[in-house]
Structure 1
């Protein structure tokens, strides 16, 4: 059903999780990280998270506000993180064009990915980065050292499990001597089919070694497949590993604008949830087969199950930098690149500011106006313990 004039009825992810918590927990087994994220999302901005006090600098009127959960999977807690991260990114990016590439793996690997998330996601990051490094260093393609910014996503629009890497690659790199910036052609400097073959070879080599070392759990339903290296190779190499080259960004400003609304996404935002009656959930999604927005309706239990698939392991970094963009090269090769491109490095506007100070800069000043006297500004007070107020 197409989403014609479909609007959000006010339903939020936290409401759906809270109302169905007992039923879902009784029929599903969650890992520690999933339970932690579940509890954080339903407790966000409630008394469970404690509170802080805002005090008017004119009349000393006080207002108690509940704390955010700050969980990276919560759709309410990403805005400030996103803005601060994007501002810091400006100091990293080079003033050149950027290519956007999407690396995916065949669907038959989804099972082993899901039960070995930390290990397999690491392999996905390192394999895609190694692919770009090898391709760029090839004199037939670019013959230079480049870098990339990689972002892990694990979902599709319908919340299905679909691990893939979104990568941004500068259109050029440092020559082998580090004395010249090698500019890439208008089109992507490596043929897509070549990237696909390199990526498949690099990833499968890492996967075979991990299986041989016994460092991965093997899905029971696929035990025969992973016990037979020749069979695994045949299945992997008979499939085309889809590498998608998306639009090219003309410069750093376009990249920043794009990343600002993309990198800190969660599997589904509250704005996409249209309604729930306690038994089913309807949400808006985009069907890329015909490029149209539609409405999907799922039972609450299935909706929650799909969402919980995308909870990342604790402490796992979903945004990573490689090559000349790596943090280790920040004061060396990146400085050389800026000099060769005659560009000064920027400093973040929010460097050293607290979350409250960032919000003051981002939002309308009237939001912080005292509702009691109408003249003063509400300021950040001392944190208060959980006072049990509902």
Structure 2
């Protein structure tokens, strides 16, 4: 099976790999027995698509990383049996209301609670509270590293390829704070 177009891996192959890895991880976690056996006999489809420059993904994930599942301001009413919440549909500014049972609300809320032992992303790396390095210092270090690598790693460029056009499209995530336009000259 070969990938067509701009795909790295054919969707059927990717789906088989994903299903096998998922089953392995569930087995390691000792919860694979809770999955109905017919799930493993079905064909899986792994949906992958380009995320563009990543801004939409950062915006989407940011709400999960830095906020709870629902803020108190979104809970409009609670009558002992039902909870009414306000929300906005994707691509709409209109506020809507949804009334659901308390148990449904709790179930939906718990979908966003991390399992025991997991931590939010912000507790790791440069976002950890103990990290004293500022974001500006990190940007400066990355730019300096780029300059060092640019001077050290330059070798004879290979013939033009499809990869060159991808390298040439790369833009700096630092909005001009350091220039990555020479990245097309670096070959490892």
TM range (shorter): 0.3 to 0.5
- Higher relative contact order structure (alpha carbons within 8 Å, sequence separation ≥ 6): 1
- The structure with the greater share of residues assigned to helix is 2
State TM-score, norm by structure 1.
Answer: 0.26
State TM-score, norm by structure 2.
Answer: 0.47
